[in-house]
Amino acid sequence: MASHPLEPQHGPSALWDDVLWEPLLASLDRGQVVPIIGPELSVVEIDGNTQSVRTYVACRLAEQLGLDLAALPHAELSDVIGLAMRHKVRPMDVYPRIHAILRDAAIKPGPTLKRLAAIRSFGLYVSLSFDTLLEQALADERGTTTGPSGYNSYHPRRMPDCDLVSSVADGPPLVYYLFGRCSVLPEYAVSDSDLLEYLFGMQSAAAPRNLLDVLKGKSLLFLGGAFPDWLIRIVLRLTRQKPLSSPRELDGAVEILADSLSYQDPKLVGFLSDFSVETRVFHAGADDFVDQLWTRWSERSGIVPPIAQPKAEDAFVFLSYAREDSDAAAAISRALRAAGVSCWMDTERMEGGQNFRSEIVGRIARCELFLPLISRNTEVRLRDTYFRREWRHAEDRRQGTSDSVIFTVPIIVDDLDPGALREIPEHWKRDLNMCRAPCGVLDPRGLRHIQQLMSRGS
């Protein structure tokens, strides 16, 4: 993939460059950056596949209540709760069920949350999810103990709003649950109706004033929100506490959006470009942004990352993909890493001053397996694409390899029929078995196939 994934409105790849990373890292060192973490980073591994906690809860809740998910276009938690209401389930009965589902699931935080928790320059984390995975990540990475002193939770009908300035300065890192924290009581937002009440409360006398006063003077990282356009605009306005066209209170402060939806919404990107020049949109998912943030921060701090990156001598797979398939690539990478397979993607290890082309060629020369992602995007992008150069480098390496050794494993990431593929090397269609990973969800059979191929040299 030739282009960098961080592309603010004012020019491609600008925020990927050191000229903008360095001020962000300097602000982070001074405690002037706050991550606002959305539900995309709360994920659970089920049968080797990654899904969001909200989707997991929605499916389990539907099973418990005997609801038919086929009646819904998507297994969204709010839709499942709406369906339950139509079946005369009392709203009060939903919250303790969700609490029990998460308690019994014994889920653990993923690598992205752990990386965020390990960045010790963060003293305050704002969670837009109701699960406690971020608290668990902080306990794992920084030894903090969970309990009322480690978090605060907003609710529009009550007003315990701690002194955040002294709490963050004098104690362990604090998690502030802006839409409530999971409990047996209806004290957190699980439906769109709940969310509306929380947003209404934040614009009234019941607003979390201490939190908003802190946020308006910080640089903010909106990570993994993947919310609708209108909700992003409202949250940005709330945290700014002034019109979006006005400069932020802190000189040099920025807002960064990194999730799977924002950069694909031209109306939102255009609106921010026109009316919120201090907001920049990362053109990939939050996982990629956090990988880059963690790498740069750890190197700056002289810390060896506890989550190991593939070394040159390690056996690893090379993921090759079109820019438009970056979310699917990131999901496949997470599933493979959770299964013990090291992955390399060109967005996560390219650092300032490296020769981009030589790094890519070198990685292809050293990888154990080459995994090209095939999609409708690769079928229509025929000119000036870096992934096709990667394919050619991989094919050049294959020429010196015995036909009995499997090196290339194509993965189809949408519903394309393998027999209808036209724009891939002919022998891939003729000689290779292809895996499937619709929307980046790698099927268990394909995952086992890759694991077995990676274990052949061990």
**Whole-number Å distance between alpha carbons of 107 and 133:** 8
The answer on 224 and 129 residing in a single domain is: yes
250 found inside a domain: yes
Letter for the amino acid at 374? Answer: I
The CATH number covering residue 39 comes to: 3.40.50
pLDDT at 190 > cutoff 90: yes
Q: Which of 259, 294, 329 is the last residue of a domain?
A: 294
The answer on 226 and 184 residing in a single domain is: yes
Percent of the chain with pLDDT over 90: 26
pLDDT at 358 > cutoff 70: no
pLDDT of residue 237: 92
pLDDT of residue 309: 44
pLDDT at 329 > cutoff 60: yes
85 found inside a domain: no
The answer on 401 and 346 residing in a single domain is: yes
At how many degrees (to 10) do helices 111-118 and 133-142 cross?
Answer: 50
Segment 112-118 shows an average pLDDT of 91
The answer on 371 and 271 residing in a single domain is: no
Segment 75-96 shows an average pLDDT of 88
312 found inside a domain: no
Q: Which of 260, 294, 328 is the last residue of a domain?
A: 294
Query: Whose structure tokens read 């394909």?
Result: 446
pLDDT at 392 > cutoff 60: yes
Query: Whose structure tokens read 């990352």?
Result: 305
pLDDT of residue 12: 33
Q: Residue 392: which of 359, 350, 361, 347 has the closest Cα?
A: 361
The answer on 235 and 160 residing in a single domain is: yes
What region does 205 belong to: left with phi over 0, alpha with psi -120 to 50, or beta?
A: alpha
pLDDT of residue 308: 42
pTM for this predicted structure: 0.65
pLDDT at 206 > cutoff 80: yes
Identify the band that residue 336 occupies on the pLDDT scale cut at 50, 70 and 90: confident
The answer on 273 and 323 residing in a single domain is: no
Q: Provide the terminal-to-terminal Cα distance of the chain, rounded to the nearest Å.
A: 30
The CATH number covering residue 368 comes to: 3.40.50.10140
The answer on 277 and 326 residing in a single domain is: no
pLDDT digits (tens, 9 = 90+) for 145-174: 554 457 888 888 875 555 565 555 556 788
Strand positions, DSSP E, 68-218: 124-127, 151-153, 174-177
Please list, in sequence order, all residues whose beta carbon lies within 8 angstroms of the beta carbon of residue 158, skipping any fewer than 6 positions away: none
pLDDT digits (tens, 9 = 90+) for 395-445: 888 877 777 788 999 999 888 887 788 888 888 877 787 888 887 888 778
**Whole-number Å distance between alpha carbons of 425 and 432:** 11
433 found inside a domain: yes
Task: Count other Cβ atoms within 10 Å, centred on residue 382.
Answer: 9
How many helices (H) and strands (E) the chain has is answered by 18, 14
Q: Distance from CA of residue 103 to its chain's centroid?
A: 23
220 found inside a domain: yes
223 found inside a domain: yes
Out of 226-235, 239-248, 425-434, least confident range? 425-434
Q: Residue 318: which of 350, 341, 293, 295 has the closest Cα?
A: 341
More confident residue, 71 or 116: 116
pLDDT of residue 448: 84
pLDDT digits (tens, 9 = 90+) for 87-114: 888 888 999 999 999 998 878 888 889 9
The answer on 331 and 289 residing in a single domain is: no
More confident residue, 335 or 373: 373
49 found inside a domain: no
Please list, in sequence order, all residues whose beta carbon lies within 8 angstroms of the beta carbon of residue 9, skipping any fewer than 6 positions away: 269, 270, 272, 273, 277, 280, 281
Q: Which of 244, 263, 294 is the last residue of a domain?
A: 294
pLDDT of residue 401: 73
For 83, the 3-state DSSP assignment is: helix
The answer on 345 and 196 residing in a single domain is: no
pLDDT of residue 67: 86
The answer on 335 and 278 residing in a single domain is: no
More confident residue, 312 or 390: 390
pLDDT at 325 > cutoff 90: no
Domain housing 329: 317-455
C-alpha distances out from residue 79 to 57, 304, 365, Å: 12, 43, 48
pLDDT digits (tens, 9 = 90+) for 3-39: 333 333 333 334 455 667 888 888 998 889 999 999 9
pLDDT at 346 > cutoff 80: no
311 found inside a domain: no
Please list, in sequence order, all residues whose beta carbon lies within 8 angstroms of the beta carbon of residue 119, skipping any fewer than 6 positions away: 28, 293, 294, 297
The answer on 151 and 290 residing in a single domain is: yes
The answer on 450 and 326 residing in a single domain is: yes
On average, the pLDDT of the chain sits at 81
Domain total for the chain? 2
Identify the band that residue 320 occupies on the pLDDT scale cut at 50, 70 and 90: very high
